[in-house]
Amino acid sequence: MNRISKILTHHKYIDYIKKNAQAETNRIFCHHDLTHGIDVARVAYIMALEETLEIKKGIIYTASLLHDIGRWKEYEDGIDHALIGAELAVEILVDAGFNSEEILLICNAIKNHRNSAPSNSILGSILYKSDKISRPCHTCNARNKCKRFKEDEKPILYY
């Protein structure tokens, strides 16, 4: 089994995704589910190819799939989901066979996936950008109520 499959089938990953779904049952805005993780991964990987960035596909997919696993915790006790997500990811990454250098890189990007500062890492930065532009705002019925959506700033389709 490859490392991505190990993440997707990890009992903790499955549990966190379920917790996100439960917490977002009545949410009218974007959900933080597996589909979102895959969308972010694909856009981030396209960015890496277009900008010829030296980051492995598996690292980009891993960081993207795990970046919102702590969202349920933010609904529960207000903890920043990026920070707690980076903590929760460690056990999954160790079990999936990532080494300490890779874990540091991925967890740092998860922690900074809401950080737009130029000082963010390359992985953190493409995670930040792809997280935003991968959202299908053009088909969202709640976009006029969404604080993140600005009609004049969001092109119809990015990719």
Binding interface with Fe ion (CB under 5 A): 68, 131
| Residue with smaller CB distance to Fe ion, 2 or 4 | 4
Rg (CA), the chain: 15
| Residue with smaller CB distance to Fe ion, 77 or 101 | 77
| Residue with smaller CB distance to Fe ion, 15 or 97 | 15
Taking the complex as a whole, the smallest distance from the CB of residue 156 to Fe ion amounts, in Å, to 21
Which residues, at least 6 apart from 49, have a Cβ–Cβ distance to it below 8 Å? none
The DSSP code sequence of the chain is --HHHHHHT-HHHHHHHHHHHHHTTT--S---SHHHHHHHHHHHHHHHHHTT----HHHHHHHHHHTTTTHHHHHHH---HHHHHHHHHHHHHHHTT--HHHHHHHHHHHHTTT---TTS-HHHHHHHHHHHHTS-GGG-TTGGG-TT--TTT--S---
| Residue with smaller CB distance to Fe ion, 80 or 99 | 80
| Residue with smaller CB distance to Fe ion, 99 or 133 | 133
Taking the complex as a whole, the smallest distance from the CB of residue 92 to Fe ion amounts, in Å, to 17
Taking the complex as a whole, the smallest distance from the CB of residue 20 to Fe ion amounts, in Å, to 10
Taking the complex as a whole, the smallest distance from the CB of residue 159 to Fe ion amounts, in Å, to 16
Taking the complex as a whole, the smallest distance from the CB of residue 131 to Fe ion amounts, in Å, to 4
